[in-house]
Chains A and B, each alone.
Chain A
Amino acid sequence: DADVTQTPRNRITKTGKRIMLECSQTKGHDRMYWYRQDPGLGLRLIYYSFDVKDINKGEISDGYSVSRQAQAKFSLSLESAIPNQTALYFCATSDRGVAKTDTQYFGPGTRLTVL
């Protein structure tokens, strides 16, 4: 089984609809992240969470919200989807560890299309 799972894998929706993307992890990591990937722009950080009570905005948080329901679950919501939110969304986890050699582990991605 995959360590980081995302649901759904693909979603097509219409402008104005509310959408939730879900991420679950079995790695036991404290830190979780949401990124979006656009061609030619790489990955950009939307939100990140260091534990259930610690949620922070990334560089492109406008139009998005998140919920850390448990250590293992981190959801991303688009309250009112718009076409320029069409992108590939990735969830990632990381663990500081004693050695402080943090590494991010990525889910398989969710391809979202907003019409």
Chain B
Amino acid sequence: AQSVTQLGSHVSVSEGALVLLRCNYSSSVPPYLFWYVQYPNQGLQLLLKYTTGATLVKGINGFEAEFKKSETSFHLTKPSAHMSDAAEYFCAVSDHNFNKFYFGSGTKLNVKP
């Protein structure tokens, strides 16, 4: 069975500071990995995904994530936080058949002026 752990339910950074949101997965084989963002009162939007190829994946709004197989991690980063980045972020995994998606519990990002 697959599972996803997001360390830190709340993260607070200052505007302009580095954003680092952590995601670790548990899977018998390397899964496909996703980061989604949820703005208040909205559904989830895809930020980026890793399926195959380059392990550093770039997404929308300046976010990127790196798949590290040895650490079973897929942490999300952004060099400089913007106020508009305040949202809840979810890491997700799926098997290679995309039969099911498993989501982490989410991390709420607060950006201070």
Q: Which of A4, A43, A96, A108 contacts B103 (CB 8 A)?
A: A43
**A29 to nearest B CB, angstroms?**
12
A108 touches B98 (CB 8 A): no
Closest B residue by C-beta to A95: B98
**A40 in contact with B46 given A94-B98, A96-B98 (CB within 8 Å):** no
B43 touches A106 (CB 8 A): yes
A45 touches B100 (CB 8 A): yes
Closest B residue by C-beta to A106: B43
Measuring CB to CB, which residues of chain B are less than 8 angstroms from any residue of chain A?
A: 4, 6, 9, 32, 34, 36, 41-46, 49, 51, 90, 94, 96, 98-106
Rounded to whole angstroms, the CA-CA distance of A30 and B29 in the bound complex is 26
**B88 to nearest A CB, angstroms?**
9
Q: Which residues of A contact B42 (CB under 8 A)?
A: 108-109
Rounded to whole angstroms, the CA-CA distance of A24 and B26 in the bound complex is 33
**A110 to nearest B CB, angstroms?**
10
**A90 to nearest B CB, angstroms?**
6
Q: Which of A101, A105, A108 contacts B49 (CB 8 A)?
A: A101
A-B contact pairs, 25 of them (CB 8 A): A31-B98, A33-B101, A35-B103, A40-B9, A41-B105, A42-B4, A42-B90, A42-B106, A43-B103, A45-B101, A58-B100, A90-B43, A90-B44, A92-B44, A94-B98, A100-B96, A101-B51, A103-B34, A103-B46, A104-B44, A106-B36, A106-B45, A107-B43, A108-B42, A109-B41
